[in-house]
């Protein structure tokens, strides 16, 4: 059974640009959550999508957005990039709600903003 796949693995962007990250969940999983991981703030919840609807949202500015497609694949978009957006972005998929059932994480996308 294939795991959670995130693309790309590494990305370098310039301040002010926008970026789109992709996540393919485990087959059959309907919930996809996104996290930002930094040395200073640790692992912070961005948002969760379930059956194409955003169900939960963390405390991030509106520059961070996402969506989920009918096949459960999800994308995350960050507009007007700032240096502080440099982080490892992790996607996790779950059978049901991510806060209750086991979350399976991808390897992450390392975003560097210069």
Partner 1 sequence: AQSVTQLGSHVSVSEGALVLLRCNYSSSVPPYLFWYVQYPNQGLQLLLKYTSAATLVKGINGFEAEFKKSETSFHLTKPSAHMSDAAEYFCAVSAATSGGSYIPTFGRGTSLIVHP
Cβ contacts of 98 within 8 Å, gap of 6 or more? 31, 33, 48, 92
- Closest to partner 1 by CB, 18 vs 107, is 107
102 sits near partner 1 (criterion: CB under 8 A): yes
Got the DSSP string for 28-79? T--EEEEEEEETTTEEEEEEEEETTEEEEE-S--TTEEEEE-TTS-EEEEE-
Q: Which of 76, 78, 87, 92 binds partner 1 (CB under 8 A)?
A: 92
Q: Which of 81, 106, 111, 113 binds partner 1 (CB under 8 A)?
A: 106
Instruction: Pick the closest to residue 113 from 79, 85, 77 (CA basis).
Output: 85
- Tokens encoding 91: 């996607």
| Residue 18 CB, nearest approach to partner 1 (Å) | 24
Binding mask 37-66 for partner 1 (x = CB under 8 A): -----xxxx--x------xx-x--------
| Residue 93 CB, nearest approach to partner 1 (Å) | 11
Which residues of the shown chain bind partner 1 in the complex (CB under 8 A)? Answer: 4, 35, 42-45, 48, 55-56, 58, 90, 92, 97-100, 102-108
């Amino acid at each position: 059974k294939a795991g959670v796949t995130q693309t790309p693995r590494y990305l370098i962007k310039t301040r002010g640009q926008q970026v789109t990250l992709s996540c393919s969940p485990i087959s059959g999983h309907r919930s996809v959550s996104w996290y930002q991981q930094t040395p200073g703030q640790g692992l912070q919840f961005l948002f969760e999508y379930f059956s194409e609807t955003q169900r939960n949202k963390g405390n991030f500015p509106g520059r961070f957005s996402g969506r989920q497609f009918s096949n459960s694949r999800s994308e995350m978009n960050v507009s007007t990039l700032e240096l502080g957006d440099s982080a490892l972005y992790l996607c996790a998929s779950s059978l049901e709600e991510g806060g209750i059932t086991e979350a399976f994480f991808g390897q992450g996308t390392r975003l560097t903003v210069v």
